[in-house]
Amino acid sequence: MLRKVLPFLLLVPGSCSSSGPEADLQYIKQARSLGAEWALVNEQAAQGRLTQTYVDSMHEWLRDQLQTSAQSLTQPNSPYGAEIRALLAGADNADPAELRSHTDKLKQIEDHLESA
């Protein structure tokens, strides 16, 4: 039995020990998605397609989720950490183009990490 389990156990520590950008990739993706959703909410709100109650609750939820992503980073002082902080520093009614600028940068970082 030990002969069957030992190879698996040798693989487990290696798969759990990643740190840095590779470990943060999931949070980068999440922040990019949240930023894009925020831009869409603001765009739709500016066109009068959403109620203020919905917009306010979405802004609160998006900020909470972004804050969780930021706090989960293993390298918070990285370029992607700065982009996430920039999203968080923006006003609730930030210009969708400004939000998309940050999400575009996060997408570039994400693509680079996935191709490495």
In this prediction the pTM is 0.84
- Count CB neighbours of 114 within 10 A: 11
Residue with tokens 């968080």: 88
- Least confident residue range of 3-7, 38-42, 51-55, 80-84: 3-7
| Tens-digit pLDDT profile for residues 49-78 | 999 999 999 999 999 999 999 999 999 999
**Can you give the pLDDT at residue 8?**
43
Among 12, 97, 19, 102, smallest CA distance to 66 is for: 102
Cα gap 86→83, rounded to integer Å: 5
Res. 9 pLDDT band, cuts 50 70 90: very low
